[in-house]
Chain A
């Protein structure tokens, strides 16, 4: 019997929307989410006759920094190219992108299992307008030939800077993809160049999934679009692997196509099968002079990149003696990491322990936006303040507690160390004041000897 073991071969294309003030090739505001339609447009991003593009320097800087953070090489020469195709959301009938000479090439991201996911390239392009579909009276996604359906276009998003990050087909399962995405999102947020929020659409992904056997190159590739949240990444990929496996088991090679993830049906569905692959007729963009960098400039870019998540994690574990778990939580967002370090600084002269600060931040879900580190330390100090009720009073309460909890006293005396914590608790409750738990424990120990 021929039991074929199908290996998934998965590659990923991620688009990250940069949070620059202005668009990629014009001065319109790049802030398009939730704005009144077609109010952030100009001749350039609207594709009016005679309009010309002028690239946003900051966007280029940030693209290169993303590439460096992903361990890419930055060639000294790069240029923009035109990617020609027709679609109503593409104002000029071509997208200004990068074809054979992108800003960044050949990088990698290391996963927790030690595997390096190769990054083929990181390049700049411009976003398309937003298309909304309405089919007759129904919100159905299936168009009926006789429906008076129409589509509506908002060009506020047209021309917003996008960075495209393409991986080698190095993923073997959905979990790796999710980990990569989380790491990529974290890096991009650390660099503060994008909000990378999948729900808001400023981080979009398109996995391509194939199955192969015996490490051979796959003979087909299926792209999946329309995955809009982390929740669905794993589901969509796993569904697709299953679907392809079943198809291959029946002896049918899956059709090379682009499929869409249907959230409602929880499956991938065929989109219109394109008869032929898109012929984008790339050629160098004549309206934009090329970019030539110097080694010095690249060095400066590197210097601008502050500590990245992986390095910060390692340092936190080492310098602050934190557990991997705690360090991961504290370094998940750079805002929180900075808050922690600032709090440690403020707490030092007051001899507040690192562990205490870490625990407080992690467990008490501190609102770090409204409670400054100084205030946090103040709160910790006051929570630590204990009342001193005097030796006699303490002795009195201890006696009472011991009398009322003879079983616990027995347990402790017969070797159950933990019973003392129960007694400590009882003493604390009885005193109705804030006692120093350690002091109480020591006293109890003495008495119970």
Chain B
């Protein structure tokens, strides 16, 4: 199937150049053709499995725990200002 690599890249927030787009379009098509194999399987009335543990109702009490310090929080930021992370302007909402 033909994938609109440009559209997918936008959704994925991945900046791709035209060469990459073309390359991925082909590779992804190949992979998708392979996974079409699943259509051979009779999945009628088969439940989905999204977790294998069978766990349910795992929660925590509403208690506070120690947070990171402001310094630790910002320690890997490329750009900061007055204790805040800084990014290029976003057009207003």
Which residue in chain B gives the minimum CB-CB distance to A275?
A: B10
Q: How far is the CB of A249 from chain B (nearest CB, A)?
A: 29
- List of A residues within 8 angstroms of B83 by Cβ: 36-38, 154
Judge whether A226 is part of the interface by a CB distance below 8 angstroms: yes
**What is the CA–CA distance of A152 and B88 in the complex, to the nearest angstrom?**
9
Q: How far is the CB of A181 from chain B (nearest CB, A)?
A: 21
Give which listed residue, B13, B50, B57, B63, contacts A286 with CB less than 8 A: B50
Main secondary structure of the interface of B (DSSP, over half): loop
Judge whether A254 is part of the interface by a CB distance below 8 angstroms: no
Q: How does the 8 Å CB contact mask read for B23-51 relative to A, with 1 for contact and 0 for none? A: 00000000000000000000000000011
CB–CB B89/A147 < 8 A: yes
Judge whether B84 is part of the interface by a CB distance below 8 angstroms: yes
- List of A residues within 8 angstroms of B13 by Cβ: 86, 93
User: Which one of A127-135, A327-335, A398-406, A432-440 is at the B interface?
Assistant: A127-135
Max count, chain B CB within 10 A of own CB: residue among A22, A54, A141? A22
- List of B residues within 8 angstroms of A143 by Cβ: 89, 91-92
Give which listed residue, A27, A147, A226, A288, contacts B64 with CB less than 8 A: A27
Give which listed residue, B11, B58, B88, contacts A151 with CB less than 8 A: B88
- List of A residues within 8 angstroms of B85 by Cβ: 38, 88, 152-155
Judge whether A348 is part of the interface by a CB distance below 8 angstroms: no
CB–CB A131/B90 < 8 A: yes
Considering only residues 263-315 of chain A, those with a C-beta below 8 Å from chain B are 271-272, 279, 281, 283-284, 286, 288-292
**What is the CA–CA distance of A180 and B88 in the complex, to the nearest angstrom?**
39
CB–CB B90/A37 < 8 A: no
Chain B residue total in the interface (Cβ 8 A): 36
Give which listed residue, B51, B55, B64, contacts A22 with CB less than 8 A: B64
Q: How far is the CB of B68 from chain A (nearest CB, A)?
A: 6
CB–CB A88/B93 < 8 A: no
Judge whether A429 is part of the interface by a CB distance below 8 angstroms: no
**What is the CA–CA distance of A290 and B69 in the complex, to the nearest angstrom?**
32
Given contacts A21-B62, A289-B58, contact A133 B90 (CB under 8 A): yes
Q: How far is the CB of A208 from chain B (nearest CB, A)?
A: 16
Q: How far is the CB of A40 from chain B (nearest CB, A)?
A: 5
Judge whether B17 is part of the interface by a CB distance below 8 angstroms: no
Q: How does the 8 Å CB contact mask read for A103-133 relative to B, with 1 for contact and 0 for none? A: 0000000000000000000000000000111
CB–CB A41/B68 < 8 A: yes
Judge whether A225 is part of the interface by a CB distance below 8 angstroms: yes
Which residue in chain A gives the minimum CB-CB distance to B62?
A: A58
Chain A residue total in the interface (Cβ 8 A): 59
Judge whether A386 is part of the interface by a CB distance below 8 angstroms: no
Given contacts A37-B84, A42-B67, A155-B73, contact A291 B93 (CB under 8 A): no
**What is the CA–CA distance of A155 and B89 in the complex, to the nearest angstrom?**
17
Judge whether B18 is part of the interface by a CB distance below 8 angstroms: no
CB–CB B56/A292 < 8 A: yes
Given contacts A57-B62, A152-B84, contact A225 B70 (CB under 8 A): no
Q: How far is the CB of A370 from chain B (nearest CB, A)?
A: 30
Q: How far is the CB of A279 from chain B (nearest CB, A)?
A: 6
Judge whether A150 is part of the interface by a CB distance below 8 angstroms: yes
- List of B residues within 8 angstroms of A43 by Cβ: 68
Q: How far is the CB of A84 from chain B (nearest CB, A)?
A: 9
CB–CB B93/A38 < 8 A: no
Which residue in chain A gives the minimum CB-CB distance to B59?
A: A57
Judge whether A228 is part of the interface by a CB distance below 8 angstroms: no
**What is the CA–CA distance of A22 and B66 in the complex, to the nearest angstrom?**
11
**What is the CA–CA distance of A307 and B14 in the complex, to the nearest angstrom?**
53
Max count, chain B CB within 10 A of own CB: residue among A28, A93, A226, A283? A28
Judge whether B60 is part of the interface by a CB distance below 8 angstroms: yes
Given contacts A152-B84, A271-B92, contact A55 B59 (CB under 8 A): yes
Which residue in chain B gives the minimum CB-CB distance to A28?
A: B67
Q: How far is the CB of A235 from chain B (nearest CB, A)?
A: 19
CB–CB A42/B65 < 8 A: yes
Judge whether A218 is part of the interface by a CB distance below 8 angstroms: no
What are 22 sample pairs from A and B whose C-beta atoms fall under 8 A apart?
A27-B63, A27-B64, A27-B67, A28-B65, A36-B83, A37-B84, A38-B74, A38-B83, A41-B68, A41-B73, A57-B61, A86-B13, A132-B84, A152-B82, A152-B86, A152-B87, A226-B93, A272-B91, A279-B11, A289-B51, A289-B53, A289-B55
Beyond A150-B81, A289-B56, 18 additional contacts (C-beta under 8 Å) are A37-B82, A38-B70, A42-B67, A57-B60, A87-B90, A143-B92, A149-B88, A150-B86, A151-B86, A151-B87, A151-B90, A153-B86, A226-B93, A271-B93, A272-B91, A288-B58, A289-B55, A291-B57
Q: Which residues of A contact B (CB under 8 A)?
A: 20-22, 26-29, 36-43, 46, 54-60, 86-88, 93, 131-135, 141-143, 147, 149-155, 225-226, 258, 260, 271-272, 279, 281, 283-284, 286, 288-292
